[in-house]
Amino acid sequence: MTSPRFLTAAVAAMLVLAAASRGDAADEITRKGSAAPLRGEITEFSRTEVTIKTGLRANQRDEKVPVNVIARIEWDGEPSKLSLNRNAEAAGRYGEAIKGYGEALAEVPGENARLQTDVTFLIARATARQALVDPPKLDDAIAKLEAFRSANSNHFRHFEATSLLGELYLAKRDFIKAAPIFQQLEQAPWNDYKMAAKNAGGRLNLLNDKPEAAQADFDSVLAIDATSPGEVAERLQALLGKATALQRLGQPAEAQQEIERVIEQADNNDSETLAEAYVRLGDSLQAQNKPQEALVAYLHVDVIPKLARESQHHSEALLHLSNLWNAVSRPDRAGEARDLLMSRYPTSDAARKLSAPAAGSE
Amino acid sequence: MATKHRCVWLATLALAGHAAASRAADLHLELVEGLRSRGYHDTAVVYLDQIENDARVSQDVRTVIPFERAVTLLQSARSLGPEARREPLDRAQAQFEAFTRANPDHPLSARANTERARILLENARLGIWQARSPANKGQEQPFRDEARALIARARTVFQTAHDQHKAAWEQFGVFIPETERQKIEARKQAEIAYMQTQMDLAMCTYEEAQTHPRDSAEFKRLLTRAAEDFEAIHEKYRSIVVGLYARMWQAKCFEEQGGREGLGRALGIYNELLGHPGDSQTMQILKGHVRHFWCICQNQRNESQLVIQAADEWVKNNRVWLRTPFGIGIRWELVQALEAYAQDRTLAAKDKERLLRQALGEAEAISRIAGQYRDVAAFAVPRIKVALNIDPGDPRDFDTALGRGRTMIKPGIFDRQQAIDAERAGQKRADELAALERDLADHLRETGRVLELAVNLSDSKTDPRHLLEAHYLLAYVHYLQDRAFEAGVLAEFVGRKFREADPEFALKSAYLSMAAWTKVYNASPQPEDDRTFEVDRIIRACQLVTGFWPQSEEAQGARIQLGRIFSRREQPAEAARWYSEVPESAEQYAEAQLAAGQAWWNAYLKAAARRDDAGDAEQPAPEQLDEWQRSAEGHLKVGIARVEAATPKDQESPVDLIAGKVTMAQILVNRGEYDAAVKLLKTEPHAPEQAIQVKQGETRPKSGIKSPAFASLVYQLFLRSYVGTKNIDEALRVMEQLERAVPEGDDGTAVTAIYIKLGRELQNEIERLRASPSGNRLTEVLASFEEFLSALTAQRERMNYSALIWIAETWYYLAEGIGSGNLRAQDYYGRAAETYQDILGRPQGFVPGGKDLGVKLRLVNCRRSQGEYQQALELVGEVLAGQPMALQAQIEAAQVLQSWGESGEPEAHKHLREAIQGRDIGTQKKAVWGWAGIVRMLANRPEYREQSLQARYNSAVCRRQYGLEQSSGAKGKAELEHARTELEMFARVSGPEQLGDEWWKKFEGMYHTLQRDLNQATTPLPRPVRHQPRPLSAVGSMDLAARPAGTSARLMAGSRPRAAAAVPVKSTSPVLVILGLLVAAGGAGGIVFWMVQSQKRSRRPRLMSSAIAPAFTPPAMTADPSRSSRTAAPAARRKPAVADDESRPSTTAGPAPAPGGGARTRRSGQPPASG
């Protein structure tokens, strides 16, 4: 028979454990590829790692988490709406997220500088993502990220900010500024960031109409052994880049093969890669004069909600759908796609292309 | 006089189409027009830029390039929203101006002026819209001023154009002899242009009125003037469409003047126009505009219920016009009426909500469409939301959203579907049913939104199984909404990518994708042969199921489905393999065995029919053919035994069983085992001979084993067997039964068709036997037929028309079967011709009315096959003298000339040129059109696509042969180069998508041959210039009301009787129809197979019954499976239910899989187990 005293002690122990696991100081780090977050107190951070004190009070230990594996950080005492706004950002509702972050920032007490800085970054990040589908906002987004980087050069968001900044310069076709930014990214101590920098180099070459050079860049990434989730994701990006290069070189069927590999290998949650892959697949199928198959490829990005969050790819997919629905005798659906593009992404490149009059001389 | 002639000539050139200036011009401008018609405006502009400075392009073409560029920009602009439209319109205007400035006397100058003015007027309309936009309240005046200035400029240009067009029209004078068709056509076009400018001027006045405030005196004064102008036009042209448009605008002017009187007069005219009997497309568009104005009028009279009823009905019946300006206008009026009616205090809260929800849905849709109503609709959306008191807060986490989504499906969707079911069963009023259906549609839309929200709220902590469920449910909602593409894409993605998260759910999803792609297939407007893409998607989904879940019950359904698909694709061996894979343990084993047997047999027949094609690399070896025949027999035996054992003797014979037996009888007939075939067909229980009987006096059903088609098939097998055993008495008796089984109508066409088909089957059989290593059977069969036919021929005096046709056709096909070079074949052709001549020589009335033509053409065909070309030509000339526009006769004439040209007779090659260009016969000028003439005549006649393509191809064949026959190398080379260029230009505007793979390959093959003849490197046949995807101009080009004179052809069409078409739309000769069918049917193989194919072509093809839908049950509903299967059924019924016999290729002649095409439906509505 179990003694009542033992029972009482066991219950008490469980309560203590529960409290500890929730954490007295409940900062929370979610790592890529891991469902179980680390809870505790973030005690310090640098460009490359974040230190969190976890465990029971009696057995606390510092865990150093490399920045490249961090998927998300939630702070102790953060305004409750912050989490909702992170979801809005992830869902591509950038305007809502930016507004919400701003309101949350106003609620953060002045003494909580760490949280204030992070929310400032979140605003810059959401602005940057918004600008990628709303080019008139590019300058504002660049200014915010530049300001963040210069004020927080040793922050754990540094490399993420650098990467985003490079993307913005690419979108602005300011290759002169983009190139050194990606070189800085290559200085990161992790393979996935190095791979990302090389991939960016490949994209730069694509934008400069040098598909052979781009293919070489992407091949150099593919030569790297990829094991971590971040590395695998970059490897897939390289495959996509290579497919684009192949397509530019007039080899759409080969491009299609590479893209189908990406779709097969990509993680279900890697919506960015999948969305881009389906758009590229549609491109290669169009180049092979298979409009109906291309329609289905693009439609993935419109129909699968997580892929439709990827605004840039979604707008591009809608641009094509607004034409390709006609291939299956559905002009009404072509019109719907067009309306959605014009109403959801009115200032995107895709909308601009849709509205642009036919090119030609006078 | 000379000046007058010049003017007429210029007008003719301009109005009949400047593209006719030269062949080179034809090609360049044809290409541009082709690009424009496909919406490739940017590519068209690029092409025009390219040729503008190309010295090889004629000056005629280069002169009109600014004009063509402007037309292209104009069309491009019409596909854009108002904001984006301005720039291309301005550029188009600049191009028109440049053109008229440089070529003031050019015949196109008047049209350029008109177009310029229309652009000005269009820009003025944009200003008027902006002045009325709620967003510009208080800032209207600048927009109004600008619009008024633009209208004034437009009027000046229109007036100039009006005078020019009037002068051009008057130049033609009153009388033109009927023989001068081109001139008559040109005068008609000139009159249209003149009418258009009259309308344009009146529209200027109307639009000018719109630039003034509605309560101003100027507004009313201008409207009155416009109404008078429109009335004058209506008086002049009341019997044609332009007059009706003028009438409509006159009413519009009354309506806008307001007051009871104004509205009453307007409504009177609108009702008069809506009651017009015309239903051509032109009239539908006109009525669409009128309905729009009618709704505006009724809303002003506060008759919101009337508007709701009329607009709802219009929306339901005119989905194709929903996005046109008048379609959007009607929908906007509907929104206003719904909102107004919802204010009625006597309404129940539920009804009020339903009205507002519908209004919200429409307003949201309109607010996304660029145009006049976007702004006002966008303003309405929040207003309606407030009235609905909705959006208090969407779920903020995944679990809540998913939970809400589940509830919205069950009971939400299920209850609504049940209510609709009950309403249908009770045969309630159509409007009540429509209201429920609308409610369901709104609810489905909202459910989809919530589920999408759920997915978007998921994060890394979300249970993957729940995430999968949310995706699955969303796909299911898409499916119910008839958004089958979306359902297919999403369900397939989930089935493929999430299979590790929850295999069972992923399987459901994969199976749902099968159903969704099948729905896409069934809904496709493409002809069945052009649905490769849809079929590929179904195959992909089926293979997903069979690949990852091979043992599942769903996989068996998928295998049957794959078998069916490959049968339809005429890949019977592949079909047979899939059927054969259904394991013995599966419920569908017996039916799969029967289907496999039939498929193997079809594979055998198909391959055997190709045996004379020596170069066919895919030709199976003889051993393989034997193996297929054995497999067919083996599977059929198993299937027949299984089904027979499971069917009580006194029960009605199952379709599958009878079809299996009939196929088996075919195998026996093919082997010459005629007695065994007769025994199988006669032996009870479940004898096909009995199964096809109907009670005396009873009409045979249209489908199934008692149908005329199936019964005749059985009698044909009997007939074939009795011919084989030379049993003339039994054969004649069976022929009588056959004639009784097939409804004759007045003309005996059906039986004739069967006899002709039997002849063709015989040809196939002869060809197979010719290819067979053993020649004995061929000799035996030929002897048998010859003896039989000779005996019949001896008795021909007492035979009717159908029987004689059979004799003639059988001789003919016997000859075809053994090959025209053979002496025996020549004898048979002669006997066929003799029989046709006998038919034609019978007393009047012997040949059913209108069929002489067909018989004569068959006689021509025989003479041609005999090499008696002169006689054949004279015969066809006689036909053409009586019916110069008979397409089939024209084709036969060209064919005679081609065959003659290819005959190798001295100087015969000149007939090749005649075959292309046509020739005179006797005093008839150009009595024979030739292949090129046929192509021209069939331009823009999609119903004659095949004939047109064949004519184009034959033209190339003839030209090549003619080139090769030339003694002069340069001349020959020029002909070859001409043929090559023609193909290239044709391909540039057509492409494989339009032509289909088969035709594209054929043309490309000819292109390569020509390149080799010319010692050129072979290159792929150029495809249409690749374009950057741009929107098609579907909406803009229909905007007749906004541009009342914009589409000239439509204005002349409609109420005035159409001018005689150049080519008869339909041949009046049923024999011709039969012959056409024969050509279409091809010669793939056996009788059962032929029947399947012919049915396939005659019905709307469906691969899988939509009864599959009830089998899909969302996981949350498994607690009450009986209910779920019941309630899912309406979804399947929203589309017309798919009859079982339509869903299966083999219904009448082969095994019959379960209705619903799979394992599930056998279990009478039991949903699949779900997690």
B313 token code pair: 């009905």
* Angle ∠(A46,A163,A126) on CA atoms, nearest 5: 95
Q: Does any CB of chain A come closer than 8 Å to the CB of residue B1066?
A: no
Q: Does any CB of chain A come closer than 8 Å to the CB of residue B88?
A: yes
pLDDT (tens digit per residue) in B613-639: 545 556 777 788 888 889 999 999 999
Q: How far is B142 from chain A (nearest CA, A)?
A: 25
Choose from A62-66, B99-103, B1144-1148 the range with maximum mean pLDDT.
A62-66
Q: Which residue of B73, B368, B533 is in closest CB contact with A358?
A: B73
Chain A interface disruption, residue of B71, B460, B473, B997, most A CBs within 10 A:
B460
Q: Does any CB of chain A come closer than 8 Å to the CB of residue B368?
A: yes
How would DSSP label each residue in A199-221? HHHHHHHHHTT-HHHHHHHHHHH
Which residues on B lie below 8 Å from A296 (Cβ)? 485, 488-489, 537
The sign of the dihedral angle between the CA atoms of B676, B682, B685, B686 is positive
Distance CA A141, CA B1002 (A): 56
Give the pLDDT score at B658: 92
Q: pLDDT > 90: what percent of chain A?
A: 58
Give the pLDDT score at A278: 96
Give the pLDDT score at B1127: 28
Distance CA B728, CA A128 (A): 89
> In chain A, which among 151-190 make CB contacts under 8 A with chain B?
none
Give the pLDDT score at A76: 87
| CB–CB contact A339 B1032 (8 Å) | no
Q: Which residue of A269, A299, A332 is in closest CB contact with B489?
A: A299
Indicate the pLDDT class of residue A275, thresholds 50, 70 and 90.
very high
| Average pLDDT of chain B, as a whole number | 76
Which residues on A lie below 8 Å from B458 (Cβ)? 306
> In chain B, which among 382-401 make CB contacts under 8 A with chain A?
396
Cα dihedral B1157, B1160, B1161, B1163, rounded to 10, equals 150
pLDDT (tens digit per residue) in B991-1029: 776 777 788 888 989 999 999 998 888 888 887 654 333
Give the pLDDT score at B59: 81
Query: Chains A and B: how many Cβ contacts under 8 Å?
Result: 143
Q: How far is B486 from chain A (nearest CA, A)?
A: 6
Average pLDDT for residues B124-144, to the nearest whole number? 78
Q: How far is B862 from chain A (nearest CA, A)?
A: 43
| CB–CB contact B525 A358 (8 Å) | no
Q: How far is A176 from chain B (nearest CA, A)?
A: 29
Average pLDDT for residues B639-656, to the nearest whole number? 89
Greater confidence, B775 or B250?
Answer: B250
Instruction: Quote the pTM value.
Output: 0.53
Does residue B1067 surpass a pLDDT of 80? Answer: no
Q: Are B938 and B885 in contact (CB under 8 A)?
A: no
> In chain A, which among 60-79 make CB contacts under 8 A with chain B?
71-72
pLDDT (tens digit per residue) in B1108-1121: 332 333 333 222 22
| CB–CB contact A289 B84 (8 Å) | no
> In chain A, which among 263-302 make CB contacts under 8 A with chain B?
268-269, 286-287, 289, 291-293, 295-296, 299-300, 302
Q: Are B854 and B1075 in contact (CB under 8 A)?
A: yes
pLDDT (tens digit per residue) in B671-712: 888 899 999 999 988 999 999 988 888 888 888 888 888 888
| CB–CB contact B490 A329 (8 Å) | no
| CB–CB contact A299 B486 (8 Å) | yes
Q: How far is B1154 from chain A (nearest CA, A)?
A: 30
How far apart are the two ends of chain A, measured CA to CA in Å? 98
Q: How far is A242 from chain B (nearest CA, A)?
A: 22
Nearest to residue A354, comparing CAs of B45, B79, B372, B322? B79
Average pLDDT for residues B1091-1108, to the nearest whole number? 33
DSSP strand E in B508-581: where?
none
Indicate the pLDDT class of residue A52, thresholds 50, 70 and 90.
very high
| CB–CB contact B1032 A354 (8 Å) | no
Return the minimum-mean-pLDDT range out of A33-37, B904-908, B1053-1057. Answer: B1053-1057
Distance CA B772, CA B776 (A): 9
Indicate the pLDDT class of residue B1031, thresholds 50, 70 and 90.
very low
Nearest CA in chain B to A264: B497
Residues 6+ apart with CB under 8 A from B1103: B518, B521, B522, B535, B538, B561, B564, B565, B568, B1143, B1157
pLDDT (tens digit per residue) in B396-428: 778 888 888 888 888 888 888 888 888 777 766
Give the pLDDT score at B1169: 27
Nearest CA in chain B to A268: B497
> In chain A, which among 77-106 make CB contacts under 8 A with chain B?
84, 87, 90-91
pLDDT (tens digit per residue) in A150-170: 999 999 999 999 999 999 999
Q: Is A227 exposed, middle or buried (0-12, 13-18, 19+ CB in 10 A)?
A: exposed
B679 token code pair: 């025994």
| Average pLDDT of chain A, as a whole number | 86
B1108 token code pair: 């599959």
Q: Does any CB of chain A come closer than 8 Å to the CB of residue B992?
A: yes
Give the pLDDT score at B931: 92
Q: Is B1058 exposed, middle or buried (0-12, 13-18, 19+ CB in 10 A)?
A: exposed
> In chain B, which among 15-74 make CB contacts under 8 A with chain A?
39, 41-42, 44-46, 48-49, 69, 72-73
Give the pLDDT score at A195: 94
The sign of the dihedral angle between the CA atoms of B1112, B1117, B1121, B1122 is negative
| CB–CB contact B1029 A30 (8 Å) | no
Q: Does any CB of chain B come closer than 8 Å to the CB of residue A346?
A: no
| CB–CB contact B368 A329 (8 Å) | no
Average pLDDT for residues A212-220, to the nearest whole number? 95
Q: Which residue of A293, A322, A358 is in closest CB contact with B533?
A: A293
Q: Does any CB of chain A come closer than 8 Å to the CB of residue B331?
A: no
| CB–CB contact A335 B49 (8 Å) | no
Give the pLDDT score at B701: 85
